[in-house]
Structure 1
Amino acid sequence: MLFKQMNYFVSVIEKNSFTEAAEESFVSQSAISQQIRLLEEELGVELLHRQHRKFFVTPAGDYFYREAKRLLADIDAVITETKRVGGDSETQLNLGYLRVYSGQELHQAIAEFSETYPEVSINIINGTHEELYQELRQNTVDVILSDQRRAFSAEYINYELIQPKVYIEIASRNPFSKKEKVEIEALKNIPCILVASTEQQPLEEDFYRNTLGFNGTFLFAESLEEARLMVIGNRGFLPIEIAGTLTGPPVSVKRLPLLKNDEALIRNYCAFWKKKRTNYYMEEFARVLHKFFN
């Protein structure tokens, strides 16, 4: 069966005319009629019931029309993407991830993706949620690994990866380290340590205070390593999501589940990218990342 025959058949149905379909396809009417008859012979069913100068679509023809139209659309998409991929001698994929993320899944996904698609050059940045969101809006990154902080937008692909529980890391010599779990409200007299640049500190504090419910004071670190050193020094506690595989806490630090109103605090990690800019490599990287998270 030729895809050309499927195209002819779909055109005849949509134009409701052999003549107009022939004109659209730049062939003669007799050529289209012959190709559709050959198609019917190959399938062994009647697709069009001809009566004088008119024709009627049979039930088999109606089914074939709907499925052929879907298949042809898929084929067009494959051809377009193949041409795009093949047209670039080197393709770039710009990735962003949360500065507080320290799991192994991103490393594993990049390693597998790079081995499978060596023609793709990967660039990586990190930042806070808002910094990554702005990079995505400005098209300076293609895909970001980030937490969900606002309602999903129809302008983006919101590819959910994992819903980790929130823990805190706190110095072993702090009395709270003797507990098995801890409520947010109980921590109001201990500083909360967040990782954020000077410009992003107000936004991070607002989210943790007004959305998650941390009611105490806040301290800030430029990196996750610096934040953990502050924890070891018993300067406060560090909220952390167990997103995928995470190494054990540093020496002299205890990691405790965090509760809010006696229930585990849950976050939502996703891969985000703009729907209008989506391509095969973005989708494939998100699929690989999802595999390692699960």
Structure 2
Amino acid sequence: MELRQLQYFLKVAQKEHVTRAAEELHVAQSAVSRQIRLLEQELGVDLFMQKGRNLQLTPVGQLFCKRVESILKDLDRSVSEIHEFLDPERGEIRIGFPHSIGTHLIPAIVAEFRQHYPHVKFRFKQGTYPSLIKDVLGGEVDLAFISPCPDSDDQLTGEVVMTEELFAILPPSHPLAGEKVIRLEQLKEEPFVLFSQGYSLRPIVWQACLKAGFTPQLAFEGGETDTIRGLVAAGMGVSLLPEMALFQTSTLQPAQVKVVEPAVTRTIGLIYRSDGKLPLVARSFRAFLLTYFRMRQNNTPVGS
């Protein structure tokens, strides 16, 4: 069994067509067909079956495809690790994060890191809480910021890097908009604008309201902090957002007020696979991040 056969097989499985696979591989169609045929002969099974003008994986072909994807992905990572070993300052870091920290925190961190490692490349992937965990465990990203930070287990390691306060945001004309501090209970009669299901800020806000003695009245849902802020500023309801999500991005802005009884916070963690297979460049970035947030907490410049 040759590496070329596995690569041809996977491409045909993805394209469901020999001709289209051959075009993308820049080889003759006959070469692809021959290698697939040799692979099936060696395995003693049919990997594809005809479906109209396309090819479809057989059940055993689907099983084999999952294994091949994993093998080729590990091979690509191994080649990258060798290159990074030869020059770890020119590797690529794949990092995931939720939308609420992507506008300001991620650019600031990357800019700081690239002052020390100017040739390192970054690949970013934004996602929800469950999708970020899936991406880390599936090897789609090396590291991911996530909130709240999950407990470590056999597959996943999580480290809290910071704790952030959530503020109430209100329409500018709201009677409480001019207050410096409010109790969360004071918003119990208000309609709430919350993140949709799957976003980690939603259960944090929901649980805080329950702790304050009421169930929030859901008025609108959104998937981005800009949407939440805009709806609140337009008078559609109230909400709670972390401080880093309150940077002004438009002229229409809600009022923000500190919340007590209870104070509402969220943890932001850094997660990665527990098997310790981080590329060298990602290990350097992780070490940098831990120092970055420790210095930030102590109000110390990172390079000092």
TM bucket normalised to smaller: 0.5 to 0.7
Partner of 2:158: 158
> Superposed, which structure 2 residues align to 1:1-294 within 5 Å?
85-87=84-86, 91-101=91-101, 104-148=104-148, 150-196=150-196, 200=198, 205-206=202-203, 208-210=205-207, 213=210, 215-218=215-218, 219-243=220-244, 247=247, 251-259=252-260, 262-276=261-275, 277-293=277-293, 294=296
Alpha-carbon separation, structure 1, partners of 2:126 and 2:82: 32
- Residues 84 and 153 of structure 1, relative CA distance in 2, 3 Å threshold: farther
Q: How far did 1:289 drift?
A: 3.2
Alpha-carbon separation, structure 2, partners of 1:82 and 1:98: 27
In 1, are the aligned partners of 2:229 and 2:253 still within 8 Å (CA)?
no
Alpha-carbon separation, structure 2, partners of 1:82 and 1:226: 40
Q: How far did 1:212 drift?
A: 6.4
Q: How far did 1:158 drift?
A: 2.0
Of structures 1 and 2, the larger Rg is shown by: 1
- Residues 217 and 269 of structure 1, relative CA distance in 2, 3 Å threshold: same
In 2, are the aligned partners of 1:98 and 1:129 still within 8 Å (CA)?
yes
- Residues 246 and 283 of structure 1, relative CA distance in 2, 3 Å threshold: farther
Q: How far did 1:224 drift?
A: 1.9
In 2, are the aligned partners of 1:191 and 1:236 still within 8 Å (CA)?
yes
User: Which consecutive residues of structure 1, in runs of 5 or more, have no partner in the other structure?
Assistant: 1-80
Q: How far did 1:232 drift?
A: 1.0
Aligned-residue identity in percent = 14
Q: In structure 1, the residue corresponding to 2:236 is in which secondary structure?
A: coil
Q: TM-score, normalised by structure 2?
A: 0.57
In 1, are the aligned partners of 2:85 and 2:280 still within 8 Å (CA)?
no
User: Which consecutive residues of structure 2, in runs of 5 or more, have no partner in the other structure?
Assistant: 1-79, 297-304
Alpha-carbon separation, structure 1, partners of 2:166 and 2:105: 18
- Residues 151 and 215 of structure 1, relative CA distance in 2, 3 Å threshold: farther
Alpha-carbon separation, structure 2, partners of 1:205 and 1:267: 11
Alpha-carbon separation, structure 2, partners of 1:257 and 1:200: 26
- Residues 151 and 266 of structure 1, relative CA distance in 2, 3 Å threshold: same
Q: TM-score, normalised by structure 1?
A: 0.59
- Residues 142 and 192 of structure 1, relative CA distance in 2, 3 Å threshold: farther
Q: What letter matches 1:233 in structure 2? A: A
Alpha-carbon separation, structure 1, partners of 2:184 and 2:94: 36
Deviates more, 1:121-130 or 1:281-290: 281-290
Q: How many residues align?
A: 208
Q: What letter matches 1:281 in structure 2? A: V
Q: How far did 1:233 drift?
A: 0.5
Q: What letter matches 1:223 in structure 2? A: E
